[in-house]
Amino acid sequence: MARVVDIRCPHCDVTSRALLPEDGLLVLGPCPACHEFVLLVAGIPLPVDKQVILYGSTEEKQEHLFSVLSSFLEQRINLLIDQVEENTDRLTDYENARQFQRVDHPEMLAGSPFPDATPLMQQISTEEVRQFVEEELPRLDDSEYFKTIFH
Ligand SMILES: [Zn+2]
């Protein structure tokens, strides 16, 4: 279903209602107030050069839209990388402090579209893997020990 969204024109700052189609990943159209062109990327308005859109060749339009989109994506990707690196630093701090054993890290989920997702690197600590490989794995052949785990 299409949804109605408020779009603030990046050219003139006037907010207008727009109809965003269901798969409205990319929508291109003129601002009703100033008639400059706006590229909506998942509902986020980016300014586009009207001259290129109206009078440019197909290649020029492609190139212009692609460069608008790629500089936007570059910014967003850098934001994501910042978030990931910030969280990685925190996890590394935990490990260095030897406090990293099955600790929940809700901050890993900040900004995540999956609120129930398991944060990366949370479930199994290096120590647990070492313990399993060195102590428990060889003993799986030991039927007595096996029975203490599996009844
Ligand atoms: Zn406008």
In a domain, 113, yes or no: no
Question: Would 51 be classed as within a structural domain?
Answer: yes
Chain-centroid distance of CA 120 in Å reads 14
For residue 38, is it within any domain? yes
Q: Which residue type sits at 85?
A: E
The tokens for 122 are 């949370």
**Tally of structural domains, the chain:** 1
Give the pTM.
0.60
Instruction: Average the pLDDT over each of 10-24, 55-69, 71-85, 135-149 and give the range with the smallest value.
Output: 135-149
In a domain, 123, yes or no: no
76, 82, 91, 121 from 108: Cα distances, Å: 18, 12, 9, 10
Average pLDDT over residues 113-117: 63
Which of 10-19, 94-103, 128-137 reaches the highest mean pLDDT? Answer: 10-19
Tell me whether residue 138 is in a domain.
Answer: no
Domain that holds residue 81: 3-107
Bigger pLDDT: 61 or 109?
61
Is there a contact between 38 and 30 (Cβ–Cβ < 8 Å)?
A: yes
Per-residue confidence (pLDDT) for residue 65, from 0 to 100: 97
What is the H or E stretch that residue 16 is in? strand 15-20
Residue 26 has pLDDT above 80, yes or no: yes
Work out whether strand 26-30 and strand 3-8 pair parallel, antiparallel, or are unpaired: unpaired
Rounded to whole angstroms, how far apart are CA atoms 79 and 127? 32
C-alpha of residue 50 to centroid of ligand 1, in Å = 11
CA of residue 14 to ligand 1 center, whole Å: 6
Q: How far is CA 103 from CA 2, 23, 99, 119, in A?
A: 42, 39, 8, 10
Provide the mean pLDDT of the chain: 80
**Is 85 part of a structural domain of the chain?**
yes
- What is the CA(130)–ligand 1 centre distance, in A? 61
User: Which H/E stretch holds residue 128?
Assistant: helix 126-131
135 found inside a domain: no
Q: How many whole angstroms from 11 Cα to the centroid of ligand 1?
A: 5
Give the mean pLDDT of 116-126.
57
